[in-house]
C-alpha cells in the first residue's frame, strides 16, 4: 500500500479518552473522538497495545495477543472501532510486541510448570558461579536475568522481569507470531508496528558484556533478524496490502536499509532513535546535557540521505510514548510554545519519510514536570528513582532528571478542554493531568485559527497536495550553520525549501529566494533574511 502520502497519528489508549469514569482511556472513548482525528486529516492510527496484560509496562507485557484487555473494552468494541475507522477512511495500526511476552502469558506459565515445548519458547540458562548467566543489564535497570528456583535456571528479560524474551530461533515461536498477525488481519487490521523487533535474534546470550553494560552488542540487529522478518512478511502481512513499521533500537543505517527497503521484503519503514539521544551525556539516558544541535543536524542529514541512497524509507517523529515531549525538549514551552511547536512540526513533516503525530503534540502539550515520585507511574521511572537514590543522588537532582526524561512526561491524559481532568475522565485519572490544560487544550486550539492544531492540518495538506513532499529528494542546506536547520526537497521541476531556526534568538541568513513563493511561515511577513525566534519558512517553486 502506498504510504508516502500518509500521515500516522499515535493514540496512547490509556490516556486518550475515558468513557466510563474509571480513569482509564478506552475504546468507546476513542470512537467518540474519531471525528477530531478525521478533521485533522490523518490516515492511520497507531494504537499502543490494547491486548490483555498485567500492565506492568502499560501493555507491552502481553498476556493474550488475541483478546482486548477488559480495561479498554471487548473484542466487539474493537470491531466497532474498526467499523468506525473504516467509515472515516482511517486505517488501524496495531502494536505487535513479539520480542517478549508477559510472564502471565499461558506459554510462560506452561514453561514454568515444566512443559518442555513451552519452555523452549523462551531463553533459559543455568547460573554461572552461583550468579547470573551473564552480567547484562535490563533496559529498565537491574539484571537482565531472573532466577526460577523450581527449574534452577534463569530466563532472559531485556526489559522488565515480567517481560520474558521469546526464543525466535524456535520455529514454533515464529509460527505463533505469524498466526497472531494473521488473526488481526482477519479482523480488518492491515497496519502493524513491531515493537523492538531488531532484538529478536540474539548472537549469543552466554557472553559477558566486556564494558559491563547492558549486553546490547549481543542481541541488536542479530544474525538472523532479516531472515525472520522476511519469513514473517511472507507468512502474514506480506500477503495483504499492508503498512508496517519496525521499532529499531540502537540500530545501524546498513541494517535499516534492509529492514525498510523499498523492495518490500521486510517492513515498510523503521523508527530509529539516534536523533533522540543528542541530549544524553555519555549516551546515557539518565545523564543530562543540553541538546547537541550540530550532532542532531548531522544525524538527520546522514540518515535522510543515507536511507534515500539505499532505497529505504524512514519514519519521521520527535515524539512518542517513550520520549519526553519534543516541545519541552527541542523547543521552548514557556516563552515560544506556539512558534517552536510549529517549527518542530514543519521540520518533521516535510523531510523524506512518513510523519507520525503523537497525541497532544498537535495542540502543544508539554512535559508533565511532576515533582513527587507518587505522581510517576512508569516502571522505568520508578526503578530509576530507586537506582539513582542508591547511587547517592539527591532527590532534587533525581526529580530534575525525571522531569526531563521520564516516559510519563508524554503519557499524561489528552487535554481536550478546560473542564475537570481536561475532559479526559469523570473519574480519577490513572496518571495526573498536566496542570496547563486550562490553556493548552483541543477546544481552545479549535477556536483559534492561528493555533498549532491548524498548522498541523496545513502541513498534512501540503503532503497531500505536493508530490515533492511525498517523493522529493532530500538535499541538506546550511550544513555548517549552528542555529538553522534547512533542507530542500526536489522532484523534477518542483523545489520545496524548509528553513528552521532551532533557537529562541534571531538570526540573519542568506538565501536566494528568487522565484520562490512562501507557502507557510509561523510568523507574519517573513522576509527570508531576518529569522525571528524559532521561525520557520516553507518556500516553493516550480520552474
Ligand atoms: C518499546 C516500547 C516501550 C516498551 C518496550 C518494551 O520500546 O515502545 O514502551 O516499554 O518496547 O516492550
Confidence at residue 66, expressed as pLDDT on a 0 to 100 scale: 98
| Residue 195 designated active-site | yes
Any atom of ligand 1 within 6 Å of the Cβ of 98: no
Confidence at residue 527, expressed as pLDDT on a 0 to 100 scale: 93
Q: CA-based Rg of the chain, rounded to a whole angstrom?
A: 23
Any atom of ligand 1 within 6 Å of the Cβ of 416: no
* Residues β-bridged to residue 131: 128
Q: Cα of 259 to ligand 1 centre, how many Å?
A: 19
Any atom of ligand 1 within 6 Å of the Cβ of 159: yes
Any atom of ligand 1 within 6 Å of the Cβ of 190: no
Instruction: Work out the pLDDT band at 51, boundaries 50, 70, 90.
Output: very high
Any atom of ligand 1 within 6 Å of the Cβ of 166: no
Ligand 1 atom closest to residue 159's alpha carbon, by position in its atom list: 6
Model confidence at 212: pLDDT above 90: no
89 with 180, same domain?
A: yes
Ligand 1 atom closest to residue 99's alpha carbon, by position in its atom list: 12
Instruction: Work out the pLDDT band at 74, boundaries 50, 70, 90.
Output: very high
Going by alpha carbons, the residue nearest to atom 12 of ligand 1 is 60
Which of 46, 51, 60, 193 to mutate to test ligand 1, by most ligand atoms within 8 A of the CB atom? Answer: 60
Instruction: Work out the pLDDT band at 383, boundaries 50, 70, 90.
Output: very high
Cα separation, 461 vs 345, in Å, equals: 13
Any atom of ligand 1 within 6 Å of the Cβ of 92: no
Cα separation, 353 vs 463, in Å, equals: 11
Any atom of ligand 1 within 6 Å of the Cβ of 160: no
In a domain, 293, yes or no: yes
Q: What angle do CA 390, 394, 395 make, to 5 degrees?
A: 95
pLDDT digits (tens, 9 = 90+) for 127-162: 999 999 999 999 998 999 999 999 999 999 999 999
Going by alpha carbons, the residue nearest to atom 7 of ligand 1 is 196
Any atom of ligand 1 within 6 Å of the Cβ of 322: yes
46 with 130, same domain?
A: no
* Residues β-bridged to residue 540: 496, 517
Q: Cα of 406 to ligand 1 centre, how many Å?
A: 13
pLDDT digits (tens, 9 = 90+) for 330-351: 999 999 999 999 999 999 999 9
Which of 11, 46, 57, 381 to mutate to test ligand 1, by most ligand atoms within 8 A of the CB atom? Answer: 57
Decide: 533 and 506 in contact? Cβ < 8 Å.
yes
Any atom of ligand 1 within 6 Å of the Cβ of 401: no
Ligand 1 atom closest to residue 160's alpha carbon, by position in its atom list: 6
Orientation of helix 395-405 relative to helix 379-390, angle to 10°: 150
Decide: 499 and 539 in contact? Cβ < 8 Å.
yes
In a domain, 394, yes or no: no
Q: Cα of 285 to ligand 1 centre, how many Å?
A: 15
In a domain, 326, yes or no: yes
The residue from 18, 69, 214, 247 that is catalytic is 247
Any atom of ligand 1 within 6 Å of the Cβ of 537: no
Decide: 160 and 145 in contact? Cβ < 8 Å.
no
Chain mean pLDDT for the chain: 97
SS3 of the chain: helix, strand, coil, percent, to 5: 35, 20, 45
- Strands (DSSP E) along 158-303, which ranges? 163-165, 191-194, 243-247, 269-271, 280-281, 284-288
pLDDT digits (tens, 9 = 90+) for 400-426: 999 999 999 999 999 999 999 999 999
Orientation of helix 171-186 relative to helix 225-235, angle to 10°: 40
Listed residues 164, 180, 207: the one ending a domain: 164
pLDDT digits (tens, 9 = 90+) for 473-493: 999 999 999 999 999 999 999
CATH number reported for the structural domain that contains residue 483 in this entry: 2.60.40.1180
**Residue written as cell 497472531?**
180
In a domain, 2, yes or no: no
The residue from 18, 61, 165, 195 that is catalytic is 195
Listed residues 114, 145, 164: the one ending a domain: 164
Q: Cα of 395 to ligand 1 centre, how many Å?
A: 26
What is this structure's pTM? Answer: 0.98
96 with 126, same domain?
A: no
36 with 151, same domain?
A: no
Model confidence at 307: pLDDT above 90: yes
13 with 133, same domain?
A: no
In a domain, 239, yes or no: yes
Going by alpha carbons, the residue nearest to atom 6 of ligand 1 is 60
Ligand 1 atom closest to residue 100's alpha carbon, by position in its atom list: 12
277 with 215, same domain?
A: yes
In a domain, 200, yes or no: yes
Instruction: Work out the pLDDT band at 321, boundaries 50, 70, 90.
Output: very high
Selection from 188, 5, 13, 206 nearest residue 85 by Cα: 188
Cα separation, 420 vs 432, in Å, equals: 11
Average pLDDT over residues 196-216: 95
Average pLDDT over residues 231-253: 98
160 with 302, same domain?
A: no
| Residue 247 designated active-site | yes
Instruction: Work out the pLDDT band at 113, boundaries 50, 70, 90.
Output: very high
CATH number reported for the structural domain that contains residue 110 in this entry: 3.90.400.10
159 with 214, same domain?
A: no
88 with 74, same domain?
A: yes
Ligand 1 atom closest to residue 97's alpha carbon, by position in its atom list: 12
Confidence at residue 481, expressed as pLDDT on a 0 to 100 scale: 98
Ligand 1 atom closest to residue 57's alpha carbon, by position in its atom list: 10
Confidence at residue 213, expressed as pLDDT on a 0 to 100 scale: 82
pLDDT digits (tens, 9 = 90+) for 158-204: 999 999 999 999 999 999 999 999 999 999 999 999 999 999 999 99
In a domain, 12, yes or no: yes
Listed residues 426, 459, 492: the one ending a domain: 459
71 with 153, same domain?
A: no
Going by alpha carbons, the residue nearest to atom 5 of ligand 1 is 60
249 with 317, same domain?
A: yes
Ligand 1 atom closest to residue 321's alpha carbon, by position in its atom list: 9
pLDDT digits (tens, 9 = 90+) for 420-477: 999 999 999 999 999 999 999 999 999 999 999 999 999 999 999 999 999 999 999 9
In a domain, 3, yes or no: no
CATH number reported for the structural domain that contains residue 361 in this entry: 3.20.20.80
158 with 201, same domain?
A: no
- In this structure, the chain runs to a length of 543
**How many structural domains is the chain composed of?**
3
Q: Which domain holds residue 530?
A: 473-542
Amino acid at each position: 500500500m502506498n504510504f508516502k502520502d500518509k500521515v500516522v497519528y499515535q493514540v496512547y489508549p490509556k490516556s486518550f479518552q475515558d468513557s466510563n469514569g474509571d480513569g482509564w482511556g478506552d475504546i468507546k472513548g476513542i470512537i467518540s473522538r474519531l471525528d477530531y482525528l478525521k478533521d485533522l486529516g490523518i490516515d492511520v492510527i497507531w494504537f499502543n497495545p490494547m491486548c490483555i496484560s498485567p500492565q506492568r509496562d502499560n501493555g507491552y507485557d502481553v498476556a493474550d495477543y488475541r483478546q482486548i484487555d477488559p480495561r479498554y473494552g471487548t473484542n466487539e468494541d474493537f470491531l466497532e472501532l474498526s467499523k468506525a475507522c473504516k467509515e472515516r477512511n482511517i486505517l488501524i495500526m496495531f502494536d505487535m510486541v513479539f520480542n517478549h511476552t508477559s510472564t502471565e502469558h499461558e506459554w510462560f506459565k506452561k514453561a514454568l510448570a515444566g512443559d518442555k515445548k513451552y519452555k523452549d519458547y523462551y531463553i533459559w540458562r543455568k547460573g554461572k558461579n552461583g550468579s547470573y548467566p551473564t552480567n547484562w543489564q535490563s533496559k529498565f535497570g537491574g539484571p537482565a536475568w531472573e532466577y526460577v528456583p523450581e527449574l534452577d535456571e534463569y530466563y532472559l528479560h531485556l526489559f522488565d522481569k515480567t517481560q520474558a524474551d521469546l526464543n525466535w530461533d524456535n520455529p514454533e515461536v515464529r509460527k505463533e507470531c505469524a498466526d497472531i498477525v494473521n488473526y488481526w488481519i482477519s479482523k480488518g487490521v492491515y497496519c502493524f508496528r513491531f515493537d523492538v523487533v531488531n532484538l529478536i535474534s540474539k548472537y549469543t546470550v552466554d557472553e559477558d558484556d566486556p564494558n559491563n553494560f547492558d549486553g546490547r552488542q549481543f542481541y541488536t540487529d542479530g544474525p538472523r533478524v532479516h531472515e525472520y522478518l522476511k519469513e514473517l512478511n511472507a507468512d502474514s502481512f506480506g500477503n495483504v496490502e499492508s503498512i508496517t513499521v519496525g521499532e529499531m533500537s540502537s540500530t545501524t543505517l546498513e541494517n535499516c536499509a534492509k529492514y525498510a527497503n523499498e523492495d518490500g521484503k521486510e517492513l515498510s519503514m523503521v523508527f530509529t532513535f539516534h536523533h533522540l539521544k543528542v541530549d544524553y551525556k555519555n549516551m546515557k539516558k539518565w545523564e543530562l546535557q543540553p541538546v547537541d544541535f550540530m550532532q542532531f543536524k548531522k544525524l538527520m542529514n546522514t540518515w535522510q540521505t543515507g536511507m534515500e541512497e539505499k532505497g529505504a524509507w524512514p519514519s519521521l517523529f520527535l515524539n512518542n510514548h517513550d520520549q519526553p515531549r519534543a516541545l519541552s525538549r527541542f523547543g521552548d514551552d514557556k516563552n515560544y510554545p506556539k512558534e517552536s511547536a510549529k517549527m518542530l512540526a514543519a521540520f518533521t513533516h516535510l523531510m523524506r519519510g512518513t510523519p507520525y503525530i503523537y497525541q497532544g503534540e498537535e495542540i502543544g502539550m508539554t512535559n508533565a514536570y511532576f515533582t513527587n515520585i507518587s505522581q510517576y507511574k512508569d516502571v522505568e521511572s520508578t526503578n530509576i528513582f530507586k537506582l539513582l537514590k542508591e547511587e547517592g543522588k539527591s532527590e532534587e537532582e533525581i526529580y530534575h532528571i525525571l522531569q526531563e526524561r521520564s516516559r510519563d512526561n508524554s503519557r499524561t491524559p489528552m487535554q481536550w478542554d478546560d473542564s475537570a481532568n481536561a475532559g479526559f475522565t469523570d473519574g480519577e485519572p490513572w496518571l495526573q493531568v498536566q496542570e496547563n490544560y486550562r490553556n493548552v487544550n483541543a477546544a481552545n486550539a479549535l477556536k483559534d485559527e492561528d493555533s498549532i492544531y491548524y498548522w498541523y492540518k496545513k502541513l498534512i495538506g501540503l503532503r497531500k497536495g505536493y508530490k515533492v513532499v511525498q517523493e522529493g529528494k532530500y538535499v541538506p542546506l546550511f550544513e555548517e550553520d549552528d542555529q538553522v536547520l534547512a533542507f530542500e526537497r526536489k522532484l523534477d521541476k518542483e523545489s520545496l525549501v524548509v528553513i528552521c531556526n532551532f533557537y529562541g534568538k534571531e538570526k540573519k541568513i542568506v538565501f536566494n529566494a528568487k522565484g520562490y513563493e512562501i507557502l507557510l511561515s509561523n510568523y507574519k511577513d517573513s522576509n527570508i533574511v531576518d529569522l525571528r525566534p524559532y521561525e520557520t519558512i516553507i518556500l516553493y517553486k516550480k520552474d
